[in-house]
Amino acid sequence: MTVGPARDEGGRTVGREVAVLRSVQRSIGTPPVVGAARAMSFFGEHAAGWIALGALGAALDAPRRRQWATAVGGVVAAHGASIAVKRVVRRRRPHDPGVAVHVGTPSRLSFPSSHASSTTAAALLYAGLVGGVGAGGATLLVPGMALSRVVLGVHYPTDVLAGSVLGAACALGARRLVRRGSVGRWRTA
């Protein structure tokens, strides 16, 4: 009997992606890493942590409150766009017996990763507002969140890649609003 490549429930080939998931979990899926990934998952759920940070920025930085509000809007847009794409694509989350799932999810839909979308948007938008060392640190959040979704076994690598691209597009859209002068200006980091 010949067995073809692994496929997700939509019929797409996922064999290589499952192999990456297994490899990541075997190599770095230690209890401390899984614990940190769970904490990141909780923080990023429904973009709530990023929205709260943006609201805090708006509260503490009165002269740039409108820019912070626009940044939060970009994060919300990224999250909303990812949910809309998920409902169109309808790709199921990984369900291979060799992939451990370490966290619950609000849906069974996987593509794109909403965590990656909102984290990328937040990192790009908030980095422009905090500048300096904070801007550099913000860019480290994106690969960390993306990797956490794979460590937790809830996304394929292409899910997090697509989520990051979508989040970057939403961030660029929010920055364009600022550049048009309708909201104010970001610092260049």
| Tens-place pLDDT, residues 96-124 | 888 999 998 888 999 999 999 999 999 99
Residue 116 domain flag: yes
Residue 137 domain flag: yes
pLDDT at 182: 52
Task: Kindly report the CATH number assigned to the domain that includes residue 134.
Answer: 1.10.606.20
Q: What is the pTM of this model?
A: 0.84
pLDDT at 3: 41
Q: How far apart are CA 138 and CA 140, in angstroms?
A: 5
Residue 47 domain flag: yes
Residue 135 domain flag: yes
Residue 155 domain flag: yes
Task: Show the domain range for 132.
Answer: 15-178
What's the number of domains the chain is made of? 1
Residue 120 domain flag: yes
Residue 80 domain flag: yes
CA atoms in the 13 A half-sphere facing the CB of 136: 2
> Do the beta carbons of residue 44 and residue 99 sit within 8 Å?
no
**How far apart, in Å, are the Cα atoms of 47 and each of 26, 53, 73, 77, 167?**
28, 10, 11, 10, 11
Phi-psi region for residue 47, left (φ > 0), alpha (ψ -120 to 50) or beta? left
Q: How far apart are CA 23 and CA 2, in angstroms?
A: 24
Alpha helix segments (H runs only) across 90-156: 114-130, 132-151
Residue 73 domain flag: yes
Residue ranges of the chain whose pLDDT lies below 70 = 1-13, 132-133, 178, 180-189
